[in-house]
Amino acid sequence: MDYVIGIDVGTSGVRGLLLDREANLHSVAVREYGMETPQAGWAEQDPQSWWDACLEVLCELCGKIPPSQIKGIGLTGQMHSSVFLDKDDRVVRPALLWCDQRTHDEVDEITSRVGFGRLVELTANRALTGFTAPKVLWLRNHEPANYERLRRLLLPKDYIRSRLTGEYATDVSDASGMLLLDVKNRKWSSELLQALEIDRSILPSLHEGTEVTGTVSAEVSRLTGLSEDTVVMAGGGDQAAGAVGNGIVREGPVLVTIGTSGVVFASSDKPAIDRQARLHSFCHASPGLWHTMGVTLSAGGALQWLRNTLREMKADLDYSDLEKRAHEAPPAAEGLLFLPYLTGERTPLFDPHARGVFAGLNLNHGIGHLTRAVMEGVAYTLNDAARLMKESGNALEEIYLSGGGARSDLWSAIVANVLGLPIKRLSVDEGPAFGAALLALVGTKAFDTTAEAAEASLKIRDEISPDPETMKVYESSYQRFRELYPALEDHFRGQNGLSGH
């Protein structure tokens, strides 16, 4: 039997999956790492930690079967995060991550240089602090010595590709989030590169997600046991790969993901460009498709923050404990609201200054209320994106729920009741790594198309329907939630000025 591996270079760790040629899951391996926050609003990681974790994951998976049976590797990972390499392929400085907010001045610079309308026309998106192009300008503006050393700009999964194969390549879905791609025509934008004075030579070659970009090197073969004939596919950004793994490779179904961030995702046969750029429009990892996406930056990350904070207060609670407490609190948490903007926010605010807030605390509120309010706040932000998605023409009738949040029955039910729609959960929900493995199956000719690979692997575990009475409670609470940010917007900007960031 032949196999493929899917590798996801995530924000909290590397996840690897071993699939057979019929898309059956055989093994999972995970290695975790941390994130540095040198200043408020900053987020960095050392790319070497990704590579160390990746090697350990590959070695573990190669220990499950004869490595010669592994024919291909599909790659995915956190989008936007920047890897700066010098002429000797050494990392110039720690990578600036997707959730890093330091580049607000560079966002203004890009919009000023190109013009908002033309920028949206070229890239199908507005400039945002999380995107890659502002990070390049930040390096030029704030660390000129490091900028002078810059010879290659890579995304996380593509840094891993370079270590696996020696090749510098990316796929069009991940490249879409760099703010340097002509999304409509699936190629680098010469006009944008010229306007921003970025040399085309630092960018990797472009590929569709199922294309082969190289084979593993002799050194990697020695370290892992993989054959030097093992091919490495272009892969996709984490959201696009996750969509492939959840069968979102055609128009119609919509994917809601609760991972570190939260996403509402829909595929389309052509680029859907919103002139106000209220949603992201990117190339899909599935060849010939595009996708529309709304993003909230702190979803599962908000619950992780609450758990970690409580642990620091000597409350030794894991996620199952928190969910049990949240079950004991009623819907809408007795008036308690939570804005989950811990690292700023994208859809629909596009405000790097926004911050997290509990509103309406009283003496009756306990850990259960806090937890439920966090879950509900995330669901409300997902509803913000879903409403925009519906306005843009998506029917929002068939919803799949994915990510760590989908493992929570309570959080899944909250999302169903807030959106007012039934939610489907899959039997195998392994996220982007699973989609990357499916792309590898197509690339190694086990399937002809991503649609065929997705159909072979897609199995519905259950469906959660909304409760009409609970929906009414959440409709009222959601309206109160929507009033909070406008009331605090000036405060957030003043707070940001006081902090010096």
Residue 103 lies in a domain: no
pTM beyond 0.85: the answer is yes
Token pair recorded at residue 285: 């990892």
Residue 76 lies in a domain: no
- Using CA of residue 65, residue 4, residue 454, residue 420, what is the dihedral sign? positive
DSSP state of 408: -
Enumerate residues 6+ apart whose C-beta is below 8 A from 383. 418, 419, 478
Residue 388 lies in a domain: yes
Residue 17 lies in a domain: no
The CATH number of residue 338's host domain is: 3.30.420.40
DSSP state of 372: H
Residue 399 lies in a domain: yes
SS3 at position 344: strand
DSSP 193-241: HHHHT--GGGSPEEE-TTSEEEE--HHHHHHH---TT-EEE--EEHHHH
Enumerate residues 6+ apart whose C-beta is below 8 A from 313. none
Residue (of 264, 245, 269, 240) closest to 254 by Cα position: 264
Question: Which residues form the catalytic set?
Answer: 238
Question: What pLDDT, on a 0 to 100 scale, did the predictor assign at position 500?
Answer: 43
Residue 333 lies in a domain: yes
CB–CB of 399/256 below 8 Å?
Answer: yes
Domain count across the chain? 1
Q: Tell me the C-alpha distance between 35 and 496, whole Å.
A: 22
Residue 30 lies in a domain: no
Q: What number of CA atoms fall less than 13 Å from residue 449's CA on the CB side?
A: 10
Domain that holds residue 378: 296-425+462-499
Helix H or strand E encompassing 172:
helix 172-176
| Segment-wise mean pLDDT, segments of 10 residues, the chain, 501 residues | 96 96 96 92 95 98 97 97 98 95 94 97 93 98 98 98 98 98 97 98 98 98 97 96 93 90 92 87 96 92 93 87 96 98 90 93 96 98 94 85 93 97 89 96 97 91 96 98 96 67 44
Residue 382 lies in a domain: yes
Residue (of 61, 69, 86, 57) closest to 162 by Cα position: 86
